[in-house]
Amino acid sequence: MAWQRLKVNQKVLKNKIINIFKKHKLSSEHALVCANAIINAELVGAPTHGLSRLKMYCDRINKKVINPQPKLKIKKISQSISQIDADNSIGFVAADIGIKQAIKNAKKTGIGIVGIKNSGHYGLSGYYAEQAVKKNLLVFCFTNAPPAIAPHGAKKSLFGTNPICFGTPTSSKVPFILDTSVSVINRGKIRVAERTGKKIPEGVALDKFGKPTTNAKKALAGVQLPISGFRGSGLAWMVDILSGVFTGGNHGGKVKDPFDDFSGPQNIGHLFLVMKSNLFVSNYTKRIKENIIRVKRLPKIKGIKEILYPGQSKQRRYKNNLKKEIKITSNIADDLKKLDA
Amino acid sequence: MAWQRLKVNQKVLKNKIINIFKKHKLSSEHALVCANAIINAELVGAPTHGLSRLKMYCDRINKKVINPQPKLKIKKISQSISQIDADNSIGFVAADIGIKQAIKNAKKTGIGIVGIKNSGHYGLSGYYAEQAVKKNLLVFCFTNAPPAIAPHGAKKSLFGTNPICFGTPTSSKVPFILDTSVSVINRGKIRVAERTGKKIPEGVALDKFGKPTTNAKKALAGVQLPISGFRGSGLAWMVDILSGVFTGGNHGGKVKDPFDDFSGPQNIGHLFLVMKSNLFVSNYTKRIKENIIRVKRLPKIKGIKEILYPGQSKQRRYKNNLKKEIKITSNIADDLKKLDA
């Protein structure tokens, strides 16, 4: 039974991931950074960005399109602005260094910007946004991704699902983290539907002939639709420009699919933009608290118990999962066994 | 016939608007800034942000909820960051000064941020974005607006249509300006439908009881729907935080409707964020050109002649209208006559 669910102790799992990355020539430090990001994706309920990608990362290292021992170069452009050449590292490593640099710059000058090139898939944007928010900062994270969405008017995909990610501290421990792709649904979810043989909803994708489809496999071979037609298409284009054209990364459909294309590194670009929350007001925490209260107090649609802000349900899943064993499929258990051999 | 279309010479019209604003105690300089913004909205084909608002601005001045002779205070926070207290000016005036300051800061340090509070409705975000783009800068403009969109899960509106506006230079004279509200359709279009007695499309609004409606009047009394459910709701919330909570402006549903609520100033907040396009790469113009070419060369859906980037069709309308007389309704002609009396 390929889709049986197994339960694995978190610590055991984390050590296994670290071990696997070390076997694939990553330093202990980088292996830990990657393991933390992968475990976090599982805990927040985003398995599409977690263990299901582990084999892909290792395959790319084996085929020399990810550099397991990158020499990242950080160039200081000003006190506020830094550029990172990630030397084809795993995205996790570049993004971890990048967000820390952006936080440092923002702490010093009020605003920090970091542009990263020659990186790879970094997992969840919200994971990095949260690091900035925990330091009481506002943050934007932009990254591009392999072609998945057709620009408005085109029948071939070119933009990635290109998330827009924005975070702000709240007055509570639960940060406001909006981390939304501009496709109607997440590509990872289509991938999971394909692996589990499930159908996808109508209106989210076209097959390769430009016809609507609910077949996940056909959708992956075809195009995903952006939210709200030209609006979503424009937002995806904006993210491609900010994270690719602007930073020096690949762009305009040139980011390779990490699962299917081993002909070279991805050269994904990321852009982190971080600001002190009290740049213009001294009582930001009080203001954001008031803002959230006003929204939560609105009369609700039938069936809705509570109006949640972005990031709240993710945080609940995280808290709920934190002390549990992690459920993995037997496919992934097989991957882990083989990779750790 | 209240909806007969009249043609008016542009220069005559502009002088009339300037005259009207001067009669309402604006300085010649501020009257010119306002007239330019209003004429521009007409030329780009956004009459909902043009002359149809002139009477409203004057009414608000008469009722002392817009200050016609504001003393704007610009506070320098750093070389990159400035804050403006707009002293309840017309939004056009505050935004004009704000974007110029942001451009100045970005030219000096690579990045410019300006937060504005105590402002009012400033017309089209794209109008300000274009000013930065013409100086070869990348730009974000954020502003909030009176309640129009229900947060996801609520049956009462709270967020404004809160546009997300991003601009970048291209290699041509036609800038890339994404200026999209996060409502399914622009509130101004519903307002025009109400005045012209037309129906609005399905799926864009609910009446005040939370039921779907195609009646423009009922939609204005009810709520507009955000694009793509929780995604659009999250984006609207983000814009409210950036332009309201962060800058010191009103937020969380407290921005007054300029047409209906004369109980006090709007205290709208704006945030401008401007960056040099060559921060990380020396050949930005070449890169963005290549990016746009790649998208435009994609195979097109049946019936689509050309894939356009955001701002392109607006620029075409502008160019097309530039040497023509401006068409106005007889309602607006009446407004002009009365206001200029």
Chain B residues with CB inside 8 Å of A277's CB?
Answer: 246
Helices (H), B46-158: 54-62, 91-109, 125-133
Structural domains in chain A, CATH included, are 5-183+226-281+319-339 (3.30.1370.60)
* Beta bridge partners of residue A165, listed in sequence order: A141, A179
State the DSSP H helix or E strand holding residue A268, giving kind and residue range, or none if neither.
Answer: strand A268-276
The structure tokens listed for A4 are 């049986």
Q: Provide mean pLDDT across the span B264-274.
A: 98
For residue B89, which of B162, B6, B26 has the smallest C-alpha distance? Answer: B26
pLDDT at residue B50 greater than cutoff 80: yes
According to the model, what pLDDT value does residue B321 have?
Answer: 94
| SS3 (DSSP) at B198 | coil
Interface with chain A: mutation pick from B162, B245, B275, highest number of A CBs within 10 Å: B245
Residues B139, B184 contacting (CB under 8 angstroms): no
Digit-coded pLDDT (tens) for B52-61:
999 999 999 9
Chain B residues with CB inside 8 Å of A280's CB?
Answer: 77, 83, 115, 117, 246-248
Digit-coded pLDDT (tens) for B85-126:
999 999 999 999 999 999 999 999 999 999 999 999 999 999
Q: Provide mean pLDDT across the span B139-165.
A: 94
Smallest CA–CA distance, residue B31 to chain A, in Å, is 28
Interface with chain B: mutation pick from A280, A302, A307, highest number of B CBs within 10 Å: A280
Burial of B338: CB neighbours in 10 Å, binned 0-12, 13-18, 19+? exposed
Chain B residues with CB inside 8 Å of A83's CB?
Answer: 279-280
Smallest CA–CA distance, residue B200 to chain A, in Å, is 17
B235 and A CB contact within 8 Å: yes
Q: Which positions 203-232 of B are in contact with A (Cβ < 8 Å)?
A: 210, 227-228, 230-232
List the single residue in B150, B164, B248 with the smallest CB-CB distance to A281: B248
| CB atoms near residue B210 (< 10 Å) | 16
For residue B209, which of B199, B222, B194, B219 has the smallest C-alpha distance? Answer: B222
Q: Which amino acid is at A155?
A: K
| CB atoms near residue B242 (< 10 Å) | 27
The number of C-alpha atoms within 13 Å of B47 and in the hemisphere containing its C-beta is 14
pLDDT at residue B294 greater than cutoff 80: yes
Q: Which positions 5-64 of A are in contact with B (Cβ < 8 Å)?
A: none
Q: Provide mean pLDDT across the span B154-168.
A: 94
Residues A164, A239 contacting (CB under 8 angstroms): yes
Separation CA B160–CA B255 (nearest Å): 8
For residue A296, which of A168, A176, A118, A150 has the smallest C-alpha distance? Answer: A176
Chain B residues with CB inside 8 Å of A290's CB?
Answer: 252
CA distances from A15 to A20, A28, A341 (A): 9, 11, 14
Tell me which DSSP letter residue B51 carries.
G
List the single residue in B176, B245, B299 with the smallest CB-CB distance to A287: B245
For tokens 């084996």, the residue is: A62
Please list the pLDDT of chain A residue by residue as tens digits (341 residues). 345 678 889 999 999 999 999 999 999 999 999 999 999 999 999 988 999 999 999 999 999 999 999 999 999 999 999 999 999 999 999 999 999 999 999 999 999 999 999 999 999 999 999 999 999 999 999 999 999 999 998 989 999 989 999 999 999 999 999 999 888 887 878 988 998 889 998 888 888 887 889 999 999 888 888 988 899 999 999 999 999 999 999 999 999 999 999 999 999 999 999 999 999 999 999 999 999 999 999 999 888 899 999 999 999 999 999 989 999 999 999 999 999 98
Chain A residues with CB inside 8 Å of B280's CB?
Answer: 77, 83, 115, 117, 246-248
A300 and B CB contact within 8 Å: yes
Residues 6+ apart with CB under 8 A from B58: B20, B21, B24, B339
Distance from chain centroid for Cα A52: 14
pLDDT at residue B336 greater than cutoff 50: yes
| CB atoms near residue A137 (< 10 Å) | 24
Separation CA B286–CA B284 (nearest Å): 5
Separation CA A284–CA A294 (nearest Å): 15
CA distances from B23 to B56, B93, B336 (A): 15, 17, 12
The structure tokens listed for A300 are 């609700």
For the question of an ipTM over 0.90, the answer is yes
The structure tokens listed for B148 are 């129009």
| CB atoms near residue B63 (< 10 Å) | 11
Calculate the CA dihedral of residues A172, B119, B262, B29 and round it to 10 degrees.
Answer: 180
A185 and B CB contact within 8 Å: no
Residues 6+ apart with CB under 8 A from A215: A199, A200, A207
Calculate the CA dihedral of residues A174, A35, A126, A140 and round it to 10 degrees.
Answer: 120
Separation CA B134–CA B92 (nearest Å): 19
Tell me which DSSP letter residue A301 carries.
P
Smallest CA–CA distance, residue B124 to chain A, in Å, is 16
According to the model, what pLDDT value does residue B2 have?
Answer: 47
Query: Considering the entire predicted model, what is its pTM?
Result: 0.95
Separation CA A164–CA A236 (nearest Å): 8
According to the model, what pLDDT value does residue B4 have?
Answer: 65
Separation CA A30–CA A144 (nearest Å): 22
